[in-house]
């Protein structure tokens, strides 16, 4: 355990073992808010949090919404949300804290602006303007300290380096001697300076200015502090942006050189293919599904119960299964895997759900040996099954049943996944089927996009209800076995 002292109490962070697959994916700890203490409102930049109250009583506020806290209560804090805990009792408030760094995704392709610099074009391509509009306090400059992007939430007192008109409000914390990494400012703001590199050469900087929980007004000396999970989320997020900008600049410069020289185009075909494939893989990674937050938080909530009741063996086995899923879902995979490999991955997920529902859950798989050799995209079944638990079983008190079966129709391989939970009404069914092709970022839409990347238009995906079962049916080309 790693003990972090805060002005309102402390957090004991769980340090995952090396090779567990949890590093950078999830941060888990127990926070303690002292009696009578009112936390300063603060923002969880770069990470979403789930908190489960173990002991104590009081209130929490998330984006102005107040909630009563008592043992057994839990709440969710979205990324970049203002959050505050108020202890009204005579004992500390103890909470299980689970933090998940947000996954940064690139925007859609836009035409190149020949007037803009490669770094400016990269900012537009990655849609970073929308990021600052959402309140993320960053400033991006080129190697000559010219401002390329900043939003209204970036503190004006730091702009004196770039604009002489702000010199009356300049902050003394930003110096030229400590530009890489984290830096404390006397006004209570924590600064991050991340270089943007092209083949080892500095082409720009990403600067982040984040208010600490104990920071004061500009000019007042105070020690700023961020929770370990928030600090980790910020750093990982900024590093992802810097890497994305760097890769895009390198791609654009190569593209420009190849366009200017036909002979180079003929001799560098392999490089073009490699770079195009790299961008396609980035597209696939942006649509590849991460484990659903609801599932992750529910499982960790169950783990917290096991820890409190002393059921160590179940807790250990559950953590091993969760670690296996996290590691498998974050590994690069080939375009297609066998259906048997996909079923093995889904089996780990279903094992975790079985720990929650015990004998109240059944899984029936009716797929013959030949069909198990069918080629399918990796991790396209688990989000469909997760939908059954998140919606069909949410208000269903009976035994929960999941059916997975397959058959063939001419040159089509047809896979059906159905559940006996509360059936979806026909109005919702029609809306879901009509909106499957839209890029909303929701689970079923991402599955549709994953199938589209694998098969183009040569597939179908339909949601329906038959004999009281809600089902998703997917038809894809039969593969040679």
SS3 of 91, please?
A: coil
Q: Is the pLDDT of residue 222 over 80?
A: no
Determine the average pLDDT of the residues in 100-121: 62
Q: Which residue, 166, 167, 196, 165, is CA-closest to 179?
A: 196
Looking at residue 298, its pLDDT comes to 58
Determine the average pLDDT of the residues in 79-93: 89
Looking at residue 29, its pLDDT comes to 86
How far does the chain reach from its first CA to its final CA, in angstroms? 50
Report residue 328 as tokens.
Answer: 């498998």
SS3 of 163, please?
A: coil
Looking at residue 126, its pLDDT comes to 81
Q: Is the pLDDT of residue 299 over 60?
A: yes
* Residue bearing tokens 């700890």: 29
Of residues 116 and 104, the one with the higher pLDDT is: 116
pTM above 0.85, yes or no: no
Edge-first strand order for the sheet with 147-150 is 147-150, 138-142, 201-211, 189-198, 181-184
CA distance 446 to 435: 11
Per mean pLDDT, which range of 68-72, 104-108, 295-299, 317-321 is the poorest? 104-108
Looking at residue 33, its pLDDT comes to 92
Is the separation of the CB atoms in 210 and 234 below 8 Å? yes
SS3 of 407, please?
A: strand
Domains and CATH numbers, the chain: 2-101 (2.60.120.10), 118-261 (3.30.450), 293-477 (3.30.565.10)
Of residues 435 and 184, the one with the higher pLDDT is: 435
Q: Where are the alpha helices (DSSP H) in 358-425?
A: 382-387
| pLDDT band (50, 70, 90) for residue 138 | confident
Of residues 314 and 99, the one with the higher pLDDT is: 99
pLDDT, averaged across the chain: 77
Q: Is the pLDDT of residue 194 over 80?
A: yes
HSE of 478, CA atoms in CB hemisphere, 13 A: 13
Looking at residue 402, its pLDDT comes to 95
SS (H, E, C) 22-61: CCCCCEEEEEEECCCCECCCEECCCEEEEEEEEECCEEEE
DSSP conformational letter for 446: H
């Amino acid at each position: 355990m790693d003990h972090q002292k805060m002005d309102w109490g402390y957090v004991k962070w769980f340090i995952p073992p090396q090779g567990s697959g949890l590093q950078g994916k999830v941060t888990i700890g127990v926070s303690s808010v002292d009696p009578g203490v009112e936390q300063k409102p603060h923002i969880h930049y770069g990470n979403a949090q789930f908190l489960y109250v173990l002991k104590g009583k009081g209130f929490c506020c998330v984006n102005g919404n107040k909630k009563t806290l008592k043992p057994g209560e839990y709440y969710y804090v979205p990324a970049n949300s203002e959050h505050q805990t108020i202890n009204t009792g005579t004992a500390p408030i103890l909470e299980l804290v689970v933090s998940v760094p947000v996954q940064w995704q690139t925007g859609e392709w836009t035409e190149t602006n020949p007037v803009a610099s490669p770094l400016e074009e990269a900012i537009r391509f990655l849609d970073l303007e929308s990021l600052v509009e959402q309140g993320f306090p960053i400033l991006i400059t080129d190697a000559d300290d010219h401002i390329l992007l900043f939003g209204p939430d970036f503190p004006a007192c730091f702009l004196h380096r770039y604009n002489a008109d702000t010199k009356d409000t300049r902050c003394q914390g930003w110096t030229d001697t400590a530009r890489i990494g984290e830096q404390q400012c006397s006004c209570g703001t924590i600064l991050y300076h991340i270089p943007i590199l092209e083949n080892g050469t500095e082409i720009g900087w990403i600067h982040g200015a984040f208010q600490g929980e104990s920071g004061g007004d500009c000019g007042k000396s105070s020690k700023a502090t961020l929770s370990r999970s928030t600090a980790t989320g910020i750093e990982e997020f900024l590093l992802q942006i810097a890497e994305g900008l760097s890769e895009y600049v390198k791609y654009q410069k190569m593209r420009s050189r190849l366009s200017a020289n036909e002979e180079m185009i003929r001799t560098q075909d392999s490089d073009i293919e490699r770079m195009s494939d790299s961008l396609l893989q980035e597209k696939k990674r942006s649509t590849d599904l991460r484990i659903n937050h609801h599932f992750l938080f529910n499982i960790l909530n169950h783990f917290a119960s096991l820890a409190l009741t002393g059921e160590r063996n179940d807790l250990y086995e559950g953590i091993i299964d969760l670690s296996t899923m996290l590691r498998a879902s974050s590994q690069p995979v080939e375009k297609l895997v066998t259906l048997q490999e996909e079923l093995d991955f889904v089996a780990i997920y279903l094992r975790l759900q079985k720990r929650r529902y015990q004998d109240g859950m059944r899984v029936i798989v009716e797929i013959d040996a030949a069909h198990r050799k069918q080629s399918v995209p990796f991790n396209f079944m688990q989000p469909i099954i997760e939908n059954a638990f998140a919606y069909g079983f949410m208000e269903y008190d009976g035994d929960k049943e999941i059916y997975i079966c397959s058959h063939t129709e001419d040159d089509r391989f047809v896979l059906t996944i159905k559940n006996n939970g509360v059936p979806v009404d026909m109005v919702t069914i029609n809306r879901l089927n009509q909106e499957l092709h839209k890029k909303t970022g929701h689970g079923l839409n991402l599955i549709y996009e994953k199938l589209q990347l694998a098969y183009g238009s040569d597939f179908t995906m339909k949601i329906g209800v038959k004999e009281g079962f809600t089902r998703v049916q997917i038809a894809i080309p039969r593969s040679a076995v």
